[in-house]
């Protein structure tokens, strides 16, 4: 688990931006996967 995951998980506890946070993680994951960054 990276510090980004920790920050996102901390934000999701509030339940305010969990959909946005999930979307960002998915999009960033797809972006780096396409770039071969993972």
pTM of the model: 0.39
Q: What is the pLDDT along the chain (38 residues), one digit of tens a residue?
A: 576 676 666 655 556 666 777 888 888 888 888 877 55
Predicted confidence at residue 38, as pLDDT, reads 52
Q: How far is CA 4 from the centre of its chain?
A: 7
Predicted confidence at residue 29, as pLDDT, reads 84
Residue numbers of the domain that contains 26: 3-35
C-alpha Rg value of the chain to the nearest Å: 11
Backbone region of residue 24 per phi and psi (left: phi > 0; alpha: psi in -120 to 50; beta: other values): alpha
d(CA 32, CA 34): 5
Domains: count for the chain: 1
The sign of the CA dihedral 28, 30, 33, 35 is negative
Nearest-CA neighbor of 38 among 28, 20, 19? 28
């Amino acid at each position: 688990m990276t510090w980004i995951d920790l920050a996102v998980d901390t934000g999701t506890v509030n339940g305010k931006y969990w959909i946005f946070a999930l979307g960002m993680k998915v999009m960033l994951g797809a972006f780096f996967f396409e770039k071969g960054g993972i």
